Structure 1
Amino acid sequence: MSATLSRVRAAYARIEATDRPEIWIDLRPREEVEAEAEAIDRRVARGDRLPLAGRLLAVKGNIDVAGLPTTAGCPAYAYRPTRDAPSVASLRAAGALVLGTTNLDQFATGLVGARSPYGAVRGAFDPARISGGSSSGSAVAVALGLVDLALGTDTAGSGRVPAAFNGIVGLKPTRGLVPTEGVVPACASLDCVTVFARTLPEAEQALAHLATGDAPPLPGRPAGPWRVAVAPLDLLGALDPGWGQAYEAAAEQLAAAGAELRTLDLTPFTEAAAMLYEGAFVAERYTAVGSFVDKLLAQGGAGLDPTVAGIITRARDIPAHRLYADQDRLAGLRARALAELADADALLLPTAPGHPTLAEVAADPLGANARLGRFTNSTNLFGLAAAAVPAGEVNGLPFGVMLIGPAHTDERLARIAALLRPGTRLAVVGAHLSGQPLNDRLLALGARLERTTTTAPVYRLHALRTSPPKPGLVHVGRGDGSKDGCGAAIETEVWRLPAEGLGSLLAALPRPMALGPVELADGSRVPGFLCEPSALADAEDITAYGGWRAYLNARREQRAQGLLTGAFVNDYLPS
């Protein structure tokens, strides 16, 4: 079987096993993609240069893919393009394979990933939390390892917030660097096509194929370390617990790598951010799709997200004089912001101020969304470039930062972002423990053992019939483990590994295993391997042993005494 064909078949198997239908709007027929994969391998074999050969690609549902409906997250809006958007065509020409189009906040209006008739896209690490929008499906498809690359769009932060929430890289290039032809506009004067990947080099490689033309030469700067502006915590506003400390840790990592840090006044950035939806600029969203939304509302509004429809229709009546006034005000804020950045190569900020749950967004859809854009909304209004990258985790969930710089500093921002190579922690309770069959996979990723501890007493452990054998950890609630159904403390190792290593493990994680936050004995939460409850029907409950190794040791002793024979010996205790 050809290499690319094998990857395609594995991808479709992962999509089925992952069982996250809300990620996708339309998947291409498997047979069609397999035929394309075989053709790519034949071209590679005869010497054709295809730098992205075999890379699997997802495309946000507001970007044209020939033969698939472009819906922009609204079924009634759908049309079927006859050719790819230039951004899609560029990646395909380099050998990438499109698997399908992904879900989004309807008409790319939102930063939450929950404003869609195709369903709310849940976070990759915690399904109770939002995935971030509007490029929600694209980001989660990358984070879960279903594809290697994905295209999104970014008007107010849609190519960055989902990257932060799902522990991946999101590059928002200088406006105009990547064509927006074949993209359903949100705000045409601000829209950018963006790229998601699990690592910075992969994202950069894809962006190089997307970019058209040469960037103008940048003004020279004296040789020396990178100069990075940072914002004092008191100017960042309210952040989720632990996020301020994580931001300061990212700044300290840049300083340790040789960057020179200085503070700046963030006020012009946050004031401009508030103008994107509160001011007259939102009227451009009505220009894009307003007449269609009005018509559909007159017919009953089937398939329209009510929050999105409200934002777009309210923009209809904004008077022209408000737009001119806001343009004048924005020009002043932009001048102040660029002056603050004048001697800096980049501005480091948290990508978002927090990561809400789906329930919190449902309770306050407008307020939650407005908060998420506090640091991202101003970037395109000011004509800046940005790179969003992982920066560790807080309470077991990904934390991300972004580097923002003047137009056409895209490559510079990537170079600075490369200095941020934070490790992330991983809690393991079974086959990845020291000395167990899958521990070498952690070591191959550069992981190191940080400590041995236990979970909080809220889990039960089951022996799964998998190959290699492994346990399933399931959250059940507090208890002393003395009776069925009560939680107990389970032996756990906490490993530190490169942030991109977590994505690699997640991409290869077979069902029924899942990755989610694991609560430890000290109350902290760390990403770790959990198990779907549906897999426990024929699994032995081994909670009473206190951990996987204790269970295996007890079974070995039983074998030595001749009390254990048959399939268990062969499956669980190989010689």
Structure 2
Amino acid sequence: MQASRSTIPSPATTLDEWRALYRNGRPVAEVLAPFLDLPTDDPAWIACLDPQRLQAQLQALAARLAEVGGDTAKLPLYGVPFAVKDNIDVAGWPTTAACPAFAYVAKKDAGVVARLRAAGAIVVGKTNLDQFATGLVGVRSPHGAVPNSFDPAYVSGGSSSGSASVVARGLVPFSLGTDTAGSGRVPAAFNNIVGLKPSRGWLSTAGVVPACRTLDCVSVFALTVSDAAQVAELAGGSDAGDPYSRAFPADAPAALPPAPRLAVPASPEFFGDAKAAAAFERALGELKHCGAELVPIDFSPFAELAALLYQGPWVAERLVAVEATLAAHPEAMHPVVRGIVEGGRAYSAADTFKAEYRRAALAQRIAAVLAQVDALVVPSTPTIYTIAEVEADPLWLNSRLGTYTNFTNLADLAALALPAGMREDGLPAGITLIAPAWHDRALADFGRRWEAEMAPPLGATGHPAAARSLTPPAAGVVRLAVVGAHLSGMPLNHQLSSRRAAFVERTHTSADYRLYALAGTVPPKPGLAKAQAGAAIEVELWDVPLAAFGSFVAEIPPPLGIGTLSLADGREVKGFICEARGLEGARDITEFGGWRAYLASLKKND
């Protein structure tokens, strides 16, 4: 099957490539000019960039750049284009939720859009969706069905269909969607991209047209895990304008264990789709190859909770969101969407409380299951359908697609949808990692490991897997350089892994350090010291959760301590240093370039 191609040439794909364009001196106006010619017959778009909107954003970007002294590095998304699902406000652009009768021009940016624009990003369009974010198929829109990026006969998934499509085709490196029942994960799976469904409240929903306001999340689509995680870190944060906003806790884990225990449904349902079942089996084999232990579980409480979302009073929340439009312009609503929303009238206040009690009981059972493992892994979807099949049976087939997604927000969980290779018919397959709220960074860390193992091509662009991106540290972690007994596989590495610290990379210090083998230490340890005549010393970088950093430092014995180290590429991070008194009687081992090489030399001489 041939991937759908755009007529707009994309000069870059990942965030790193976009940043490289500007480091090499390309003017933002020149790079983004092709976005003024987006094809009007592309159903992924509802509103596109025009000269006035581009000029206004370029002026705002210039002002931001002046505020940071002209240093583009201080605007991590400088000049990077992105798309926004058309139920999220962008100042000066219409918000329609795919219902023209509902449309209004937004007076200010939604909270997440404001944060991304403050980081330098440029909105290039608003994207199509299942009307009022009601659906998982991407066909319930007056603007037409958004086709699958690999085979236009198939659905793209919804409701964030357009946002997934423009990322999969490489038009933009990332986009914003929303996810109440799976709208940020199903389209990711169907288009071979990453879909990050954050913990509820991390990304503000201020300025988002609600679907189920108590459950809604803003989601992120990207071609790589690192890009999705970076965008979420920049977009996330407490927002006084969103009463459901929550602060990211300082003690949240930054990584899953090196050999995580992953729960899997004991008897997964694929509704007779043998190709989907085979793809999931292959993915489970790859997870084992990554070191994971798979733990079969009874999936029934997850399935029962998933059914509550559309077979319970949360449908009434959708009615609350669109009641005025339904009353004034019922003919303007998609008939399937109207039928679903009108179903909300059948529920009483008593029904709502009864359903909430059941939700709480099921969420408690789910929490008990997840407490025994590090995460849950499921197929992102049990199957896929053609557009014609969905139009012939719009409710039941749509419902099936939420089998592994609908329960997530009801149980207050975080999720990360990942590409998992291709099915035998050439369509994408996906898996989703799910964990308790605020395990977002831990899921992203394992997602990077999965990505390194699978090396998936980038969406439907035809580009091979990207090189691993060197992501900046998140706000809630301390990036730490370790040089000796805390290195991977060394005796004290458990002091990092037990605190759910995440391995970042292996690199080197600047060339003005000397390394010593300290005398009488158990286990043997090196000491690192600044020197005028030195060398670059190999180190590992780890991200340690902020709340765990103090207890980690408390375990460091003298003469070692934590200071600031300079790296070969000019970065500065926290790292191990040694007091001068500790170097008395120590052996200078700088010539080996690192602790591993020194230990290897001792074994060779034994």
Common fold: TM-score over 0.5: yes
The equivalent of 1:9 in structure 2 is: 33
The equivalent of 1:407 in structure 2 is: 437
CA distance 1:506–1:125, change in 2 (3 Å): farther
Query: Over residues 482-523 of structure 1, what are the superposed CA-to-partner deviations in whole Å (9 max), with x where a residue is unaligned?
Result: xxxxxxxxxxxxxxx63327536399xxxxxxxxxxxxxxxx
Query: Over residues 22-76 of structure 1, what are the superposed CA-to-partner deviations in whole Å (9 max), with x where a residue is unaligned?
Result: 1111112145325634774793882251101121110000000011111111000
Shift of 1:346: 0.9
The equivalent of 1:347 in structure 2 is: 376
Provide the rounded CA distance (Å) in 2 between the counterparts of 1:179 and 1:341. Answer: 26
Q: Is 2:447 aligned against 1:417?
A: yes
Provide the rounded CA distance (Å) in 2 between the counterparts of 1:54 and 1:219. Answer: 31
The equivalent of 1:318 in structure 2 is: 347
Provide the rounded CA distance (Å) in 1 between the counterparts of 2:459 and 2:343. Answer: 45
Opposite residue 213 of structure 2, the aligned amino acid is: A
The equivalent of 1:226 in structure 2 is: 260
What secondary structure, in the 3-state scheme, does the structure 2 residue paired with 1:188 have? Answer: coil
The equivalent of 1:328 in structure 2 is: 357
Question: Does the CA contact (< 8 Å) of 1:4 and 1:41 recur in 2?
Answer: no
Question: Does the CA contact (< 8 Å) of 1:423 and 1:499 recur in 2?
Answer: no
Opposite residue 152 of structure 1, the aligned amino acid is: G
CA distance 1:219–1:410, change in 2 (3 Å): closer
Shift of 1:222: 10
Match among 326, 330, 333 for residue 304 of structure 1: 333
Opposite residue 236 of structure 1, the aligned amino acid is: E
Question: Does the CA contact (< 8 Å) of 2:419 and 2:456 recur in 1?
Answer: no
Question: Does the CA contact (< 8 Å) of 2:458 and 2:464 recur in 1?
Answer: no
Question: Does the CA contact (< 8 Å) of 2:168 and 2:461 recur in 1?
Answer: yes
Match among 101, 107, 110 for residue 76 of structure 1: 101
Query: Over residues 509-562 of structure 1, what are the superposed CA-to-partner deviations in whole Å (9 max), with x where a residue is unaligned?
Result: xxxxxxxxxxxxxxxxxxxxxxxxxxxxxxxxxxxxxxxxxxxxxxxxxxxxxx
Question: Does the CA contact (< 8 Å) of 2:44 and 2:165 recur in 1?
Answer: yes
The equivalent of 2:366 in structure 1 is: 337
Shift of 1:11: 3.9
Q: What is the root-mean-square deviation in Å for CA atoms of aligned residues?
A: 2.4
Q: Is 2:155 aligned against 1:126?
A: no
Match among 357, 366, 386 for residue 357 of structure 1: 386
CA distance 1:64–1:223, change in 2 (3 Å): closer
Opposite residue 360 of structure 2, the aligned amino acid is: A
Question: Does the CA contact (< 8 Å) of 2:98 and 2:131 recur in 1?
Answer: yes
Count of aligned positions: 427
Shift of 1:247: 1.3
CA distance 1:238–1:218, change in 2 (3 Å): farther
CA distance 1:92–1:405, change in 2 (3 Å): same
The equivalent of 2:203 in structure 1 is: 178
CA distance 1:324–1:368, change in 2 (3 Å): same
Q: Is 2:312 aligned against 1:283?
A: no
Provide the rounded CA distance (Å) in 2 between the counterparts of 1:20 and 1:403. Answer: 35
What secondary structure, in the 3-state scheme, does the structure 2 residue paired with 1:420 have? Answer: helix
Shift of 1:257: 1.5
Shift of 1:248: 2.0
Match among 289, 293, 296 for residue 256 of structure 1: 289
Question: Does the CA contact (< 8 Å) of 1:228 and 1:347 recur in 2?
Answer: yes
- Point out where structure 1 has 5 or more consecutive residues left out of the alignment: 425-496, 508-575
The equivalent of 2:119 in structure 1 is: 94
Provide the rounded CA distance (Å) in 2 between the counterparts of 1:356 and 1:223. Answer: 36
Provide the rounded CA distance (Å) in 2 between the counterparts of 1:363 and 1:397. Answer: 21
What secondary structure, in the 3-state scheme, does the structure 2 residue paired with 1:261 have? Answer: strand
Q: Is 2:80 aligned against 1:25?
A: no
Query: Over residues 296-335 of structure 1, what are the superposed CA-to-partner deviations in whole Å (9 max), with x where a residue is unaligned?
Result: 12xxx1x310000011112113122222221122122111
CA distance 1:182–1:38, change in 2 (3 Å): closer
Shift of 1:239: 5.0
Provide the rounded CA distance (Å) in 1 between the counterparts of 2:256 and 2:334. Answer: 51
Does 43-52 or 129-138 show the bigger shift?
43-52
What TM-score comes out, normalization by structure 2 length? 0.67
Q: Is 2:375 aligned against 1:374?
A: no
Provide the rounded CA distance (Å) in 1 between the counterparts of 2:140 and 2:464. Answer: 26
Shift of 1:6: 3.2
The equivalent of 2:412 in structure 1 is: 383
Provide the rounded CA distance (Å) in 1 between the counterparts of 2:206 and 2:445. Answer: 29
Q: Is 2:227 aligned against 1:196?
A: no
Does 372-381 or 251-260 show the bigger shift?
251-260
Shift of 1:9: 2.3
Shift of 1:149: 1.2
Question: Does the CA contact (< 8 Å) of 1:198 and 1:503 recur in 2?
Answer: no
The equivalent of 2:458 in structure 1 is: 500
Query: Over residues 328-352 of structure 1, what are the superposed CA-to-partner deviations in whole Å (9 max), with x where a residue is unaligned?
Result: 2212211111111112111000111
Query: Over residues 102-138 of structure 1, what are the superposed CA-to-partner deviations in whole Å (9 max), with x where a residue is unaligned?
Result: 1111111110110011111111111111111111111
Provide the rounded CA distance (Å) in 2 between the counterparts of 1:276 and 1:138. Answer: 23
Question: Does the CA contact (< 8 Å) of 1:145 and 1:506 recur in 2?
Answer: no
Match among 291, 305, 315 for residue 272 of structure 1: 305
CA distance 1:506–1:76, change in 2 (3 Å): farther
CA distance 1:223–1:208, change in 2 (3 Å): closer
The equivalent of 2:181 in structure 1 is: 156
Provide the rounded CA distance (Å) in 1 between the counterparts of 2:464 and 2:446. Answer: 26
Question: Does the CA contact (< 8 Å) of 1:294 and 1:313 recur in 2?
Answer: no
Query: Over residues 426-447 of structure 1, what are the superposed CA-to-partner deviations in whole Å (9 max), with x where a residue is unaligned?
Result: xxxxxxxxxxxxxxxxxxxxxx
